[in-house]
Amino acid sequence: MTTHTPHVDVHSGAHTGTTNYLNNTSGFMSWAGTLDHKRIGLMYLIGVSMAFLAGGIFALLVRLHLWSPDGALFTNEAYNQIFTLHGAFMVFLFVIPAIPASLGNMVLPLMLGAKDVALPRLNLLSFYLWVTGAALAMYSILAGGFDTGWTFYAPYSLYTNQAVISIGLGIFILGFSSIFTGLNFIVTTHKLRAPGLTWFRMPLFVWAIYATSILQVLATPVLGITVALVALERTYHIGIFDPRLGGDPVLFEHFFWFYSHPAVYIMVLPAFGIISECVSVHSRKPLFGYKMIAFSSLAIAIISFLVWGHHMFTSGQSTYAMFAFSFLTFFVAIPTAIKEFSWVATVWKGSIDLNSPMLYTLAFLIIFAIGGLTGVILGVLNVDIHLHDTYYVVAHFHYVMMGSISLAFFAGLHHWWPKMFGVMYNESLAKLACAIIFIGFNATFIPQFIMGSRGMPRRYAEYAAEYQPFHQASTIGAMILGCGVALMFGYLLASLFAGKKAMQNQWGGVTLDWMTPTPPPLENFHQTPVWRGEVYDYSTLDLRSTQTPVS
Amino acid sequence: MSHDGHHSIVIPAPGPEFVPHTVAHHFDSPVQEFQACKLGFWLFLATEILLFGGLFAAYFYFHEAYPETFRLGGQQLNWKLGAVNTTVLLLSSWTMAMGVRSAQTSQKKATILFCWLTVLGAAIFMGIKFVEYKAKYEHGFLPLFGGFEVADWFKDTHHVMKDVPHGHMFFAIYFTMTAIHGLHVLIGAGLILWIIKGASKGRFHAGYYLPVDLVGLYWHLVDLIWIFLFPLLYLVP
Amino acid sequence: MSSHPDTAHAHAAHAHAAHGHGEGHHHVASAGLFLKVLIALLFLTGITVGASRVDFGSANMLIAMLIACVKASLVIAIFMHVWWDTAINKIMFLGSFLFLSLLFAFTLADQATRSWDGPISVQRAPVAEQWHHPALADKKP
Ligand SMILES: [Cu+2]
């Protein structure tokens, strides 16, 4: 019994019955010691979701504190710690690993027709490095917390009397977790593609993860050496970043942003990949400008190494360097706009299925347009001098990091949920949650754009009374957003126990991830598949042969 | 056609003193395994380049800011010991290259011998490094025991750096770079010992010498970094 | 891409691997070449020391780095077998130097052009001396 589509030979092996990666072995060690990319991806999914919930709770505490101009809840010192925890948890424990390590791990080998990632033991090691980094972050909270902001700017981070070394070590370790994941995916993409699956037949999610991985491998080591130097400064006061000792804090910012600007693309490129998949599958159309999207991922990866100084326009860097960085920043907009245009052109006149993954995708398209364009505004040198370190910046990067990346993550979660677990969530609740999240998100951050452009500085525990209406609107928005996210996690978890059985190929996808049994068996494919024909060719898919319920 | 994954591919041993190698089951062929692991290791070495690169950028940054400090600081180091250590590392890089070559040509005894010579080189290097660190510590140049202020470790006992601005800056860079490099020497030596253990069991031969190859690459990288550290620190231009 | 699990095929793969036909990654360099490279490296170390004794002004740095680059190229090309390695391995490893050069270029260019600024740098310069962290209120730098 085999499932054939005209353009790909896959033996789905219905004879193996109900054995899949979730139930083929059991017991604690079968998970803790697993080398299966799907189980590792699932453990990452649990981990990053917990980090997201923790970071989200910190965010809500920040918003509640800002309800009144003199700070409603905490001392100023505690407030500093809480916004730092929000940033550090969200950036290092959630957004950076979220899509590549969880969904990427789960789906990338499936899409390539591989049995596993190229280096499965390294994959498990990266997961445990992530766990160690998370444990160090928790330890740092217990050891008194840290109040430097997620950016750890010198010289404050060199002197503050808090647990900076332990969180620095945590970030160093998380960095290597990220490096090893990226390294693994590059090797997997190069060496483990199924026969016939050439570079320009790969799904765009693979292209996006590949470009991300290059950034992870090349940029993250510089973050590692930067936090190592901060730790050395704190123990020995060697003086490299310390202006009192002849060092230069601007050098810290160069090092930090050499990583952290590309890191924005480590976060957002995988989101682009998910959107490319969702846009194509749920519009039932091949992607408009496939090659342009593929190449624009690489272009973004390369350009992102040339623009880091736009975070330092008020830091005392040379005026001439600022000219160059501002000028180069505009080039990021070109490949990004190519993507946005291609997605919209794909949806255009497609037979759109307005299911929940597609709704999250459409929400992404709107929010990312705003997030991206406000970034161009901030790249203008003289405008940034005014807007630097205001809520305008906060709103901009939340439109990118929360609004775009998290929504894409949710889209991917809803898209591959039936694949991963063989069950479907409650679709009406999913649509409702998507609407609540979209409304709550905009209600939170549109007021921040306004008050930011009027001069409200970020990271302040207290503020002038004239900003109170904006802060209160933002806090109400954050509560709505929080309810939407809670609802989403609620029905997703409920589906594991009471969900309907999913279809073998729930959405009628034509990439290899939809050609395996659902949920996939241990080594994904009973025989190495052979790919023929073009990518995203929906004309060849016989829906009746693939949309059978999971046995 | 492809196999169904239940049978493993085995690379046979070329002689009785060797053991066969079983290709990891998720690879389709020995070539795929070799190339995947090697590409992965090259990417890892690329991360090492970027990691050390940050330190080199800091070196050039402060060399530009305080040229006199760096010139005078460099003169406090013993360039003869530095040159000896450079020679030792270059020799050990050669023995490692020969060790990999011996594994490639299934010469078990030569592989083990060359690897031991490389470990010997690492030991001499670290020994000389220890002598240097000890001398610098006695001169009040090295931060070995922590302190809240720079004055706690930069004592400049003989007041040689008193006329240049921020005299500790050169030694801060010297200490950071050589300490992290030294850590890599120790890790490399440990890896080579692990290779020696595997080689004595006959695991490495013409059909399968991947671990020897990769550890060799790591060791050459350690050498590569020192090639730049020696002129920059001991012969400050 | 295909392979049979039987030993005959594995043996063929092994023979293929051992003799390195076509793939270009199982090259066995001659011991003589390694020795020549070692001698060249030691010779260049001597040159480095010698050149540092002569005052070429600001060119000393350039000369030292050029010699180091030649030595590094020898180690990379011959000892690390990059000369005979596959294209993708070459790109990945040598590409890292390209990205590193971006870190160098922008950071050092910022430093080099900072003094070109006019009044802004006059305002900025004293910050280093004036800055005190609250935690150090009782300690004067
Ligand atoms: Cu940026």
So what's the pLDDT on residue B54? 94
- All structural domains of chain A, each given as residue ranges with its CATH number in brackets, are 7-550 (1.20.210.10)
Report d(CA B172, CA B25) in Å as an integer.
49
So what's the pLDDT on residue C90? 94
So what's the pLDDT on residue A54? 95
**Burial category of A153 from C-beta neighbours within 10 Å (exposed 0-12, middle 13-18, buried 19 and up):** middle
Positive/negative CA dihedral, A327, A374, A269, A333: negative
- All structural domains of chain B, each given as residue ranges with its CATH number in brackets, are 33-234 (1.20.120.80)
Report d(CA A310, CA A217) in Å as an integer.
22
Positive/negative CA dihedral, A481, A343, A352, A499: negative
Report d(CA B223, CA B185) in Å as an integer.
9
Residues of chain A neighbouring B28 (CB-CB closer than 8 A): 528
Per residue, the 3-state secondary structure of A499-551, as one string, reads: CEECECCCCCCCCHHHCCCCCCCCCCCCCCCEECCCCCCHHHCCHHHHCCECC
Of B135, B133, B119, give the one whose Cα is nearest residue B191.
Answer: B119
For testing the chain A interface, which of B26, B63, B69 should be mutated: the one with the most A CBs within 10 Å? B26
CB count in 10 Å sphere of residue A204: 26
Q: Which two tokens stand for residue A126?
A: 């990266």
Report d(CA A231, CA B154) in Å as an integer.
18
Mean pLDDT across A471-477: 97
pLDDT band at C9 (very low <50, low <70, confident <90, very high): very low
Mean pLDDT across A87-99: 95
Which residues are paired to A423 by β-bridges? A501
At position A78, the amino acid (one-letter code) is: A
Segment (H or E) for B11: strand B10-11
Segment (H or E) for B21: strand B21-22
Q: Do residues A396 and A378 lie in contact, with contact meaning Cβ atoms separated by under 8 Å?
A: yes
Nearest to A321 among C92, C109, C124 (CB): C109
| A217–B53 CB contact, under 8 Å | no
Kindly report, residue by residue over A434-452, the tens digit of the pLDDT.
Answer: 999 999 999 999 999 999 9
For tokens 């006992």, name the residue.
B157
pLDDT band at C13 (very low <50, low <70, confident <90, very high): very low
Q: Which residue has the higher pLDDT, C119 or A193?
A: A193
What is the C-alpha radius of gyration for chain C, rounded to an integer number of angstroms? Answer: 26
Q: Do residues A432 and A487 lie in contact, with contact meaning Cβ atoms separated by under 8 Å?
A: yes
Nearest to B166 among A221, A245, A255 (CB): A245
Q: Is a pLDDT exceeding 60 seen at residue A3? A: no
So what's the pLDDT on residue A545? 53
Q: Which residue has the higher pLDDT, B149 or A256?
A: A256
Q: Which two tokens stand for residue A64?
A: 């509640």
Of A205, A270, A280, give the one whose Cα is nearest residue A407.
Answer: A270
Report d(CA C141, CA C130) in Å as an integer.
10
Q: What percentage of chain A reaches a pLDDT higher than 90?
A: 76
So what's the pLDDT on residue A508? 86
Kindly report, residue by residue over C39-85, the tens digit of the pLDDT.
Answer: 999 999 999 999 998 888 889 999 999 999 999 999 999 999 999 99
Report d(CA A462, CA A439) in Å as an integer.
27
Mean pLDDT across A107-111: 96
Segment (H or E) for A9: strand A8-9
Per residue, the 3-state secondary structure of chain C, as one string, reads: CCCCCCHHHHHHHHHHHHHCCCCCCCCCCCHHHHHHHHHHHHHHHHHHHHHHHCCCCCHHHHHHHHHHHHHHHHHHHHHCCHHHCCHHHHHHHHHHHHHHHHHHHHHHHHHHHHCCCCHHHHHHCCHHHHCCCHHHCCCCC
- Out of A130-134, A292-296, A518-522, B226-230, which region has the weakest mean confidence (pLDDT)? A518-522
pLDDT band at C141 (very low <50, low <70, confident <90, very high): very low
| B43–A224 CB contact, under 8 Å | no
For testing the chain C interface, which of B56, B227, B228 should be mutated: the one with the most C CBs within 10 Å? B227
Q: What are phi and psi of C86, to 5 degrees?
A: -70, 160
Q: Which residue has the higher pLDDT, A496 or B144?
A: A496
So what's the pLDDT on residue A229? 94
| A248–B146 CB contact, under 8 Å | no
Of A435, A436, A376, give the one whose Cα is nearest residue A400.
Answer: A376
Q: Which residues contact C16 (CB under 8 A, 6 or more apart)?
A: B31, C23
For tokens 């006695």, name the residue.
B138
Q: Is a pLDDT exceeding 50 seen at residue C11? A: no
Task: Tell me whether C117 touches chain B (CB under 8 Å).
Answer: no
Q: Do residues C60 and C52 lie in contact, with contact meaning Cβ atoms separated by under 8 Å?
A: yes
Of A458, A441, A337, give the one whose Cα is nearest residue A398.
Answer: A441
CB count in 10 Å sphere of residue A139: 14
Buried b (16+ CB within 10 A) or exposed e, A357-376: bbbbbbbbbebbbbbbbbbb
So what's the pLDDT on residue B146? 59
Mean pLDDT across C88-111: 94
Kindly report, residue by residue over A32-60, the tens digit of the pLDDT.
Answer: 999 999 999 999 999 999 999 999 999 99
CA distances (Å), origin A377, targets A87, A371, B128, C60: 23, 10, 56, 45
Q: Could you tell me how far CA B125 lies from the centroid of its own chain?
A: 11
pLDDT band at A239 (very low <50, low <70, confident <90, very high): confident
Q: Is a pLDDT exceeding 60 seen at residue C4? A: no
Q: Could you tell me how far CA C96 lies from the centroid of its own chain?
A: 8
ipTM of the complex: 0.92
Of A389, A390, A515, A497, give the one whose Cα is nearest residue A448.
Answer: A390
| Closest Cα in chain A, distance from residue B47 (Å) | 6
So what's the pLDDT on residue C16? 38
Kindly report, residue by residue over B212-229, the tens digit of the pLDDT.
Answer: 999 999 999 999 999 999
pTM over 0.95: no
Residues of chain A neighbouring B39 (CB-CB closer than 8 A): 186-187, 190-191
Q: Share the mean pLDDT of chain A.
A: 91
For tokens 């050069």, name the residue.
C101
So what's the pLDDT on residue A237? 85
Kindly report, residue by residue over A394-425, the tens digit of the pLDDT.
Answer: 999 999 999 999 999 999 999 999 999 999 99
pLDDT band at A10 (very low <50, low <70, confident <90, very high): low
So what's the pLDDT on residue A541? 67
Instruction: Please report the number of interchain residue pairs, chain B to chain C, with beta-carbon separation below 8 angstroms.
Output: 166
pLDDT band at A159 (very low <50, low <70, confident <90, very high): confident
So what's the pLDDT on residue A546? 57
Task: Tell me whether A248 touches chain B (CB under 8 Å).
Answer: yes
Kindly report, residue by residue over A484-531, the tens digit of the pLDDT.
Answer: 999 999 999 999 999 899 988 889 888 999 988 889 998 898 778 888
So what's the pLDDT on residue A539? 80
So what's the pLDDT on residue C132? 57
Report d(CA B92, CA B125) in Å as an integer.
10
Instruction: Give distance in angstroms: CA of A260 to centre of ligand 1.
Output: 7
**Secondary structure class of A195 (helix, strand, coil):** coil
| C18–B207 CB contact, under 8 Å | yes
DSSP B22: E
- At residue A326's C-alpha, the angle toward residues A321 and A332, to 5°, is 125
Mean pLDDT across A442-463: 95
Task: Tell me whether A184 touches chain B (CB under 8 Å).
Answer: yes
User: Virtual CA dihedral for B71, B72, B73, B78, nearest 10 degrees?
Assistant: 100
Instruction: Give distance in angstroms: CA of A305 to centre of ligand 1.
Output: 9
So what's the pLDDT on residue A99? 95
Report d(CA B75, CA B88) in Å as an integer.
22
So what's the pLDDT on residue A244? 86
Contact partners of B by the rule of 3+ C-beta pairs under 8 A?
Answer: A, C
Kindly report, residue by residue over B29-50, the tens digit of the pLDDT.
Answer: 899 999 999 999 999 999 999 9
Kindly report, residue by residue over A179-188, the tens digit of the pLDDT.
Answer: 999 999 999 9
Interface of C with B in 77-116 (CB under 8 A): 78-80, 86, 88-89, 92-93, 95-97, 99-100, 103-104, 107-108, 111-112
Mean pLDDT across B192-219: 96
Nearest to A159 among C107, C120, C135 (CB): C135
CB count in 10 Å sphere of residue A233: 25
Task: Tell me whether C127 touches chain A (CB under 8 Å).
Answer: yes
